[in-house]
Amino acid sequence: MERLEDMLALAHLGRISRRGQVGEYEYVVHGVGCRLVGPDGAEVDVDFVDGTEAFDFWRLRRYGESLSPPTAPPPEELLAAISSLTPLITEVRPGWFAVSGRSVATVIQG
């Protein structure tokens, strides 16, 4: 199971638990998304927007707050950071962003 979208589908079908562990990562399937928490406590939460693993400012902020030490820049700094990463980050819907050409699971694995 390499894709978060596969985990979401299997959980919705009842074939896997909505909570569990994959390797070193804990996962929770919710609504149309999935939250992963790494062994260091870093939390990555995505929803699926038009079939793409996407995040919004709230999820990006939660990620920053889960780091050690935590960081929580103001929204204008987050927007500037995302804008500076174009074309690596694409706005897939107003306020929702995705890593261009790569799934979040791939980015997490390195």
The pLDDT value recorded for residue 2 is 52
Q: Which two tokens stand for residue 19?
A: 């909570």
Helix intervals (H) in 2-56:
4-12
The pLDDT value recorded for residue 1 is 40
Does the structure show a pLDDT above 50 at 109?
A: no
Proportion of the chain above pLDDT 70, given as a percent: 89
Give 45's pLDDT tier (boundaries 50, 70, 90): very high
Does the structure show a pLDDT above 50 at 91?
A: yes
Does the structure show a pLDDT above 70 at 30?
A: yes
Does the structure show a pLDDT above 90 at 65?
A: yes
Q: Cα dist. 71→9, 33, 50, 93, 95 in Å?
A: 32, 23, 29, 25, 20
Does the structure show a pLDDT above 90 at 32?
A: no
